[in-house]
Amino acid sequence: MLTNKSARKANRQPILRFGIAGLGGAAASMLPSIARHPGVKITAGADLREEAREKFRGEFQAEVYEKVEDLCKSRNIDAVYIATPHEFHAAHVMMAADYRKHVIVEKPMALTIEDCERMNAAAERNGIRLLVGHTHSFDPPILKIREIVRGGELGRLGMIHTWNFTNFLYRPRRPEELDTNLGGGVIFNQVPHQIDIVRWIGGGLVRSVRSTTGIWDPTRPTEGSHATYLEFLDGAAATVVYSGYDHFDTDEFHFWIGESGEPKEPGHGRTRKALRNVTDPHEEARLRASSGYGGSRQRRAILSAEQRERHHPHFGITIVSCERGDMRPSPDGVLIYDNEGKRQIPVTLGRVAPDKGRVIDEFYDAVVNDGPLYHDGRWGEATLEVCLAILRSAREKREVSLSHQVANRD
């Protein structure tokens, strides 16, 4: 890394050199935010797929590797963004930490609390910064809502409701993504976003969880839905609901703006229909891979940093109730409904679409300026604890108390 001292001498911002591990869908959607950060240079990438490595080498004039370990060994990176499938997160984070590389790991942090503990121990032992994200708790309107709650202008927080209805289960999947034991289903894949949102706004300390989960399609035998009630230590409550069965779409309640902030055509049931003719799991896995970086189906919206119409990303509908008013993210800011009526607080758009820039900002500041890391490994572990408690509460049909929660330190 061009250090603070040498950068100051040269009158330049310190440069953090990034390696990308796993060049799939998550990386494709994060790359614009990494590449556009003024203090970051992308210098290496690793993936099992040759087409992804070749495209990456051409686009970034970067080193490419098949194995994540070879990437972690490189002397030309300071930090690694790990976006391999979740079952590899623990091993890849520990590998990067042991080579003294700072890490951003995609959600979910891991599949067990024991793995999270080992990842946190590796980060602490090696003195590296570990951030768990991207999750939608970084969306600028969610950050603004948290700021208003903390500021106390609407009184004490009472309730948070976050509901999301999508087509998640019918997007092409690898077989393991339809097996809960291997990290499949919405609880490991989508619910971490929801839990991070409610923990971020509610202060972090969840006391207990009661949940019912749904496995409604025998051809896709993993959780596709849940209805969960959370209570925070200070008495605030949250309901968290998800359905990935491609029937109702909550974007209908969000002015038909999609998850990444893009205008969206209504299409209830379209994804399920498109998958009807795909009966072979290998063909489905091939389709899945082709939507990753360098694949033939990589989304044009992700490739284009200059969309004509841009709004904030979001994750379904979130309504936050304080004693003297309610709030919700809107496409361009935060809507407030209080004793005076309804008003919007505008929130500035990020550098690129899809906007995941706040993740890089928090990480860069932590690594380069020794700033605070809010979404650190302990935070990620606490979010995973809630997700695991959802599965357990549904299985055992009872309320589950938590013991790994940490407070939001913002």
**Contact flag: residue 107 with ligand NAD (CB under 6 A):** yes
Nearer to ligand NAD by Cβ, of 165 and 232: the residue is 165
Nearer to ligand NAD by Cβ, of 68 and 390: the residue is 68
Residue 188, classed as helix, strand or coil, is: helix
In angstroms, give the least distance from the CB of 60 to ligand NAD: 16
**Contact flag: residue 46 with ligand NAD (CB under 6 A):** yes
In angstroms, give the least distance from the CB of 327 to ligand NAD: 23
Tokens at 397, concatenated:
């049909």
Give the binding range for ligand NAD (CB under 6 A) out of 45-53, 96-104, 236-244, 274-282. 45-53
Q: Residue from 19, 24, 244, 329 that binds ligand NAD (CB under 6 A)?
A: 24
Give the binding range for ligand NAD (CB under 6 A) out of 18-26, 236-244, 345-353, 368-376. 18-26
Compute the C-alpha angle 393/317/358, nearest 5°: 95
Q: How far apart are CA 26 and CA 19, in angstroms?
A: 14
**Contact flag: residue 238 with ligand NAD (CB under 6 A):** no
In angstroms, give the least distance from the CB of 234 to ligand NAD: 28
Nearer to ligand NAD by Cβ, of 293 and 364: the residue is 293
Nearer to ligand NAD by Cβ, of 49 and 328: the residue is 49
Q: How far is CA 174 from CA 23, 170, 286, 290, in A?
A: 16, 11, 8, 12
Q: Residue from 20, 68, 79, 90 that binds ligand NAD (CB under 6 A)?
A: 68
Q: How many helical (H) and strand (E) elements, i.e. helices and strands, does the chain have?
A: 14, 15
Contact at 8 Å (CB) between 329 and 9?
no
Q: Residue from 17, 41, 49, 101 that binds ligand NAD (CB under 6 A)?
A: 49
Tokens at 403, concatenated:
């013991």
Q: Phi/psi zone of residue 303: left (φ > 0), alpha (ψ -120 to 50 degrees), beta? A: alpha
Q: Residue from 14, 202, 261, 292 that binds ligand NAD (CB under 6 A)?
A: 292
**Contact flag: residue 134 with ligand NAD (CB under 6 A):** yes
User: How many residues sit in the footprint of ligand NAD (CB under 6 A)?
Assistant: 21
φ/ψ of residue 60, rounded to 5 = -115, 0
Q: What DSSP letter does each residue of 135-198 carry, written as one string?
A: -GGGSHHHHHHHHHHHHTTT-SEEEEEEEEE-SGGGS---GGGG-GGGT-SHHHHTHHHHHHHH
Nearer to ligand NAD by Cβ, of 93 and 334: the residue is 93
Nearest C-alpha neighbor of 409 from the set 358, 362, 380, 372: 372
Residues forming contacts to ligand NAD in the complex (CB under 6 A) are: 22-26, 46-49, 52, 68, 83-86, 88, 106-107, 134, 189, 292
